[in-house]
Amino acid sequence: MPSANESTQRDSLLRETLKRVAPGTPLREGLERILRGRTGALIVLGEGPEIDSISHGGFVIDTEFTPARLRELAKMDGGIVLSRDGSRIRSAAVHLLPQSATTATESGTRHRTAEQTSLATGMPVITVSASMNIISLFTDGTRYALDRPELILERANQALNTLERYRERLESVMHHLTQQELEATVSVRELATAVQRQEMVRRIIHEISTYTLELGAEGRLVTLQLEELASGTEGNTELLLRDYAGLDIHDRAHPGAEGSSSAQPTTAGAAPKAPQEPASPKAEAAAAKATAKVIADQLAALAELTSAELVDLSKVAAILGVESSVQSLDRLVQPRGHRILGQIRNLPRSVSDRIVARFDGLQGLLAASTEELMSVDGVGEQRARIVRETLSRMAELNFFEHY
């Protein structure tokens, strides 16, 4: 199974290749001409020693790329090699003999050669099937078939409808989480549900963005709808994970929760702990680096979950560092306050981080006075007043919604 980094690189290469063959591009026009001519083709998108070492025969032409030239050259046997940017046709009628340690999964000669060439060289390879009338991309040995634009558009519209419903559900879940955070009653189950919903929405957005790449110039309306529905979702999962990254569930459990330790978080109505002394810049940098590593690993682990695993809250909780059991899901945790502070406009992240580091969790932050906030580096009187008033307003709105 490929690592998260390898999967990201493979996905990035595929998406970049999809841009190059999208409807409206010269390359796609050339491929469509080949399809209409029912001749088939094998085209390598790249040049260099890797390609030269497996190329035999053919002839070098090094001419400017045009759709008409691509169509005419495809009539000959062998592959066509384009420059890396696709602006020139380097050679044609080339016999490719890739040597790969991996056994090809494709059966046809053209598709098997394309698969092995992409594996051996790392270059994207395009095939046009004369018999099946299909254009396929091969990136790192993985095949991706291009469908007709009208079929892709239909799928994109269905995905947009799904995204709209999931976005509404996500907003409801996040609103509930905010209420629970303000009352210091967030359970691992509620946290895992919020992370789960964030990841579901991210996956749908990623899927639709892939459709827009495939649609090219024909996907303008889909792109506009996607931008509207995806607005405000960027970075939310990271903020959520930063709020709870590295928390010891036992130490943060509320009294009365099964398995809780004697350490108790600050709860509504209880006296908050005194603000902590600011750490040295070196210690802050080390802590930030460690937290960033934890979050990056968690985001990668979430992305690797299958659809069935993502539905299982215990799997999501395990990524958050919680043992998989019903009792663990019911334990209560206290956020640090990153996400709540992230809702305050014009508050720099660096200042937000220092505020969070100064106080003991969100409840300590809610109880902080304007003077205590001003003691944080980078927080003047005006900024402290804005933070204090915003937090108070959130708490009041939450109270009125309940009572």
List the chain domain ranges.
4-146, 164-402
Same CATH topology for 4-146 and 164-402: the answer is: no
Q: What is the mean pLDDT of the chain?
A: 86
Strand 134-139 relative to strand 142-146, pairing: antiparallel
Q: What is the CATH number of domain 164-402?
A: 1.20.1260.110
pLDDT digits (tens, 9 = 90+) for 203-222: 999 999 999 999 998 899 99
Query: What is residue 246's predicted lDDT score, i.e. its pLDDT?
Result: 67
Query: What is residue 108's predicted lDDT score, i.e. its pLDDT?
Result: 82
Query: What is residue 284's predicted lDDT score, i.e. its pLDDT?
Result: 67
What is the pLDDT confidence band of residue 253, given thresholds at 50, 70 and 90?
Answer: very low
Which string of b and e fits 263-297 if b means at least 16 CB within 10 Å?
A: eebbbeeeebeebeeeeeeeeeeeeeeebeeebee
- State both tokens at 186: 């967030």
Give the range among 93-102, 122-131, 353-362, 385-394 with minimum mean pLDDT: 93-102
pLDDT digits (tens, 9 = 90+) for 73-115: 999 999 999 998 899 999 999 999 987 656 677 778 899 999 9
Return the amino acid letter for 379.
Answer: V
Question: Which residue has tokens 């991706």?
Answer: 144
Closest CA to 243 of 333, 338, 172, 318: 338
In this structure, which CATH number among 3.40.1700.10, 3.40.50.2000, 3.40.1280.10, 1.10.10.10 belongs to the domain 4-146? 3.40.1700.10
**388 has a pLDDT exceeding 80:** yes
Residue range 129-142: average pLDDT? Answer: 90
pLDDT digits (tens, 9 = 90+) for 27-75: 999 999 999 998 899 999 999 999 999 999 999 999 999 999 999 999 9
